[in-house]
Structure 1
Amino acid sequence: MPTYRELLRTPGVARIIAAQLTARFPSGMVSLGLLIHVEHLTHSYAAAGTVLAAVSIGQAVSGPVTSRWMGRWGMRPVLTLLTLVYAAALTALALIVAPVAVLVLLGLVAGLSTPPVQSAVRTIYPKLVNARQLTALYSLDASLQEMIWVMAPVLVTFLAIQVSSVLALLVVVAVAVLGGAWFILSPEVGRVRIPRSRAAIGRVLRKPTVVLATVIGVLFIGSAAAVEAGVVAAFGEGGLESGLVLAVFALGSLAGGLGSGGIPMSPWSTARRLCIVALGTGLTLLWIDNPWWLGAVLFIAGVGFAPALAVMLASTSASVKFSETAEAYGWINTGQLIGAALGSMAAGFAIDGVGPAGAYVVSVALVVSAALVAAVFHRGFPDLRHRDASPIPDTEQLPVIR
């Protein structure tokens, strides 16, 4: 904990962490808010699912592109424009009654215009603290984001069901605008200038670490999405047990992330931490319908969750040029979005076939696959035990007068 106290005393760190968490808070609200609202509007879960799919596709496509734009036009202009378009699309979804095709189009626009706050803040971090503090900052970031996934779904579900789904979406818009403005106007965002990348888009995927983090993210986040679907299927959408079990999962991740901030990261760290997730997830199969058991074993799984994510973030930072960091994190985020969609889909088919146990089997298979990939290709991760996680400096040729 002394490491985090020192970190939070660094000028600007506490402010930028709070601002980016607020700006990213809508990401934990929008899916459930849209699902409930579109289903109320159309009386069709198929229509609601199609709108959500359009949002996810838009986010997956835009992530690397909009992240790269920040190096060309600057963070503030890009984030401001995208926040306004995102808010307008969600406001339209909340207020208009339209055919499903129009709702799908608006969902696609909302997905495409999702502000890349996550890529932006993780690009700022290396310029905000000294190299010795950087790995601890990535661990803190990976841990605190669990607050989004604990609090946001509860808030939006309460508003949508108990008050109004329209109000729930308008609250999402308000938080996106206010949180986005707080982040955009933060001095740190104005001080950091991302150099324009000279490489073609996608060139950063030639870096083994970026590819590994993206592929592992697909499997890793897919596993989390599958286990969440299994918990909801076991206890029902409105069951108190579902929310409590998933909250314990997130609290385990928060505890693990905070506890691992000072542990040096080796090329094997990702595989080791994923093994903890695999152990906890695998134990769910022993007693699939007991909330006490599931809470206990998913807490164990959570202990490895944020630490594994922190290794991938720090390793990516240490493996690319500063001008490439935003795009690299954009690709990783795209992989995680794809993983969440595929994990939920596979779990849904498994639940229809064999019940909640099928979702847990899918989850175990995905996280074991992620651990195996991390172990087999561990040389693709840098050894951060004796070096920092700072990005590679951008260099260019200088003219020489002879």
Structure 2
Amino acid sequence: MKSYLDLLRTSGVGRIIAAQLTARFPSGMLSLAYLLHIEHLFHSYGAAGLVLATTSIGQAVSGPLTSRWMGRWAMRPVLILTTLVCSTTMIVVALLPPGVPLPVYMAVGLLGGLAFPPVQPAVRTIYPKMVTARQLTPLFSLDASAQEIIWVAGPVVTTFIATQISTVLAILIAAGFCLGGGAWFIFSPEVGRVRIPRSKRAFGKVLTRPTVLVVTVVGFVLIGACAAIEASVVASFGEGSVESGAVLAVFALGSLVGGLAFGHAPVGRWSLARRMIVFVVGAVASVIAWEFWSLTAAVLIAGLAVAPALAVMFAAVSSSVKFSDTAEAYGWVGTGQLIGAAAGSAIAGVMIDHFDARGGLAAAAGFAVFALLVPLIFARALPDLRGRDASPIPDTEPVQTLRP
């Protein structure tokens, strides 16, 4: 824990982590809040799914683009614009009067997804400028671990408010977090101090970097596996059951513990594959689990690898691209994870319908094995950061000199 205490003593680190978690808290609230609200209005989970789908498509499309804009127009203007537009769409969805047709909600959801603030790429671009090279990998691990708060507390808060008070209030509180947390993050001194150079590469060119492509693919299948596990756990015990909530909480707790326990470990070419082995063991064990305690133990094992794997992925991307390309690279990684979550949920849903919850867990195990094979086969594309700086490659350009 000493490395994490040293990090939190570093000027601004604790504040920027807290600010970005607050700004990103709607990520853990919005899907469930929209699901409950639209289902309440239209009495159809299918209608709610369409609104969620358009919102997710918007996020996936805009992630790399808005991240790249931060190098063109600076972080604060892009974050201010996206935060205002995104929070406004949440308020509109919450306050639209009864009788408004479903396509209107879908259009507003799409706009909100397109304007989702690129806080995650921004903060991970800022981190290398705040700490020493030795502290950067533990900081990525601390960040990956801390974000589990979003996925544990967000759904709990949303469910309580939406079911006990009002779905409208649940969405408005998410909008409040977006505005308040966004303002806290945007006006943090570190956001004003860091200037991302304008990238000279074409949009999307950063994906030709083998490390970025490998990490994007691994993120796609890893988060797809996580989404499949979550859907299958709910199917195992029933929606809203205490058992499913407890198992999912242990899954997230395992990730938090794993990130804190292994975040200081040196990152080599095989580090990601080793973490994926642990995840595969947990995912495969979940398929043969027979009751609550065995399934809880299986997802705990799988969870132990999630935050450590994400930390390795963030460090690998950071060290493999120029500073001007880091935000866009993280945007693509985030898009891969969003698409993976949608694909994992969809495939698990089909398997659950045909083979019950065990079929969904088998789909998760399939995703997990794929997530292991990619870093095993393409280990040479991943950097060896043992004893090396994980900071981005500096941007350089020719300098004119006077000839004698």
Question: How would you bin the TM-score normalised by the shorter chain?
Answer: over 0.9
Structure 2 residue 67 is matched with structure 1 residue 77: no
Q: 2:206 aligns to what?
A: 204
1:38-87 Cα deviation digits (max 9, x unpaired): 00011111110000000000000000000000011111110011000001
Q: Distance in 2 between matches of 1:291 and 1:76?
A: 47
Q: Equivalences for 1:289-304 in 2 at 5 Å?
A: 290-304=291-305
> Equivalents in 1 of 2:327, 2:314: separation in Å?
11
AA at the equivalent of 1:318: S
For residue 370 of structure 1, report the CA deviation from its aligned partner: 0.8
Query: What is the rounded CA distance, in whole Å, between the counterparts of 1:354 and 1:301 in structure 2?
Result: 22
Write out aligned runs for 1:183-202 (5 A): 183-202=185-204
Deviation at 1:291, TM superposition (A): 1.6
Decide whether the 8 Å contact of 2:70 with 2:78 is kept in 1: yes
2:17 is aligned with 1:9: no
Aligned position for 1:365: 366
* 8 Å Cα contact 2:317/2:329 also seen in 1: yes
Partner of 1:131: 133
* 2:25 aligned counterpart, secondary structure: helix
Letter in 2 for 1:182: W
Q: For structure 2, list consecutive stretches of 5 or more residues without a partner in the other structure.
A: none
Percent of aligned pairs with the same amino acid? 60
The letter of the residue matching 2:2 is P
The CA distance in 2 between the partners of 1:250 and 1:273, in whole Å, is 16
SS at match of 1:29: helix
Question: What's 1:142 paired with?
Answer: 144
**Shift in Å, 1:175:** 0.8
Q: Which residue of 2 aligns with 1:162?
A: 164
| C-alpha displacement of 1:388 | 1.7
Displacement of 1:397? 1.1
Task: Report the Cα distance in structure 2 between the residues aligned to 1:204 and 1:79, rounded to whole angstroms.
Answer: 22
How far did residue 292 of structure 1 move?
1.4
Give the Å deviation of 1:400: 2.9
User: Structure 1 counterpart of 2:82, which letter?
Assistant: L
Show CA shifts across 1:267-302 (max 9, x none): 0010110110110111112224x2211111111111
Counterparts of residues 343-362 of structure 1 (less than 5 Å)? 343-362=344-363
- Superposed CA deviations along residues 24-46 of structure 1, whole A, max 9, x for unmatched, are 11100000000000000111111
Structure 2 match to 1:380: 381
Q: Secondary structure at the match of 2:385?
A: coil
Question: What's the secondary structure of 1:355's corresponding residue?
Answer: helix
Aligned residue number for residue 58 of structure 2? 58
Quote the offset at 1:359 in angstroms.
0.6
- Tell me the amino acid that sits aligned with residue 219 of structure 1: V
TM-score (normalizing by structure 2): 0.98
Within 5 Å, give how 1:19-30 maps onto structure 2: 19-30=19-30
In the TM superposition, residue 392 of structure 1 has moved relative to its aligned partner by 0.2
Contact map agreement 2:20 2:185 (CA 8 A) in 1: yes
Query: Match of 1:216?
Result: 218
4+ residue segments displaced more than 3 Å: none
The aligned amino acid for 1:205 is: L
Which residue is 1:174 aligned to? 176
Partner in structure 1 of residue 68 of structure 2:
68
Q: Are 1:323 and 1:394, in contact at CA under 8 Å, matched by a contact in 2? A: yes
CA deviation map 1:105-135 (0-9, x unaligned): 0000010000000000000000000111000
**Which residue of 1 is the match for residue 321 of structure 2?**
320
Give the count of matched residue pairs. Answer: 401
**Does the 8 A contact of 2:33 with 2:162 survive in 1?**
yes
Counterpart for residue 44 of structure 1: 44
Distance (whole Å) between structure 1 residues aligned to residue 49 and residue 301 of structure 2: 31
Distance 1:63 1:286 in 2: 37
- The residue number in structure 2 matching 1:108 is 110
Gaps of 5+ in 1: none
- Distance in 2 of aligned mates of 1:295 and 1:324: 40
Is the CA contact 2:267–2:384 (under 8 Å) kept in the aligned structure 1?
Answer: yes
Counterpart CA distance in 2 for 1:111 and 1:6 is 37
Contact 2:89 2:109 (C-alpha < 8 Å) held by counterparts:
yes
1:111-164 CA distances to partner (integer Å, 9 max, x unpaired)?
A: 000000000000000000011100000010011101111110010011111111
Tell me, yes or no, if the aligned pair for 1:135 and 1:388 is still in contact at 8 Å.
Answer: no
Please report how far the alpha carbon of residue 401 of structure 1 lies from its aligned counterpart in structure 2 after TM superposition: 2.9
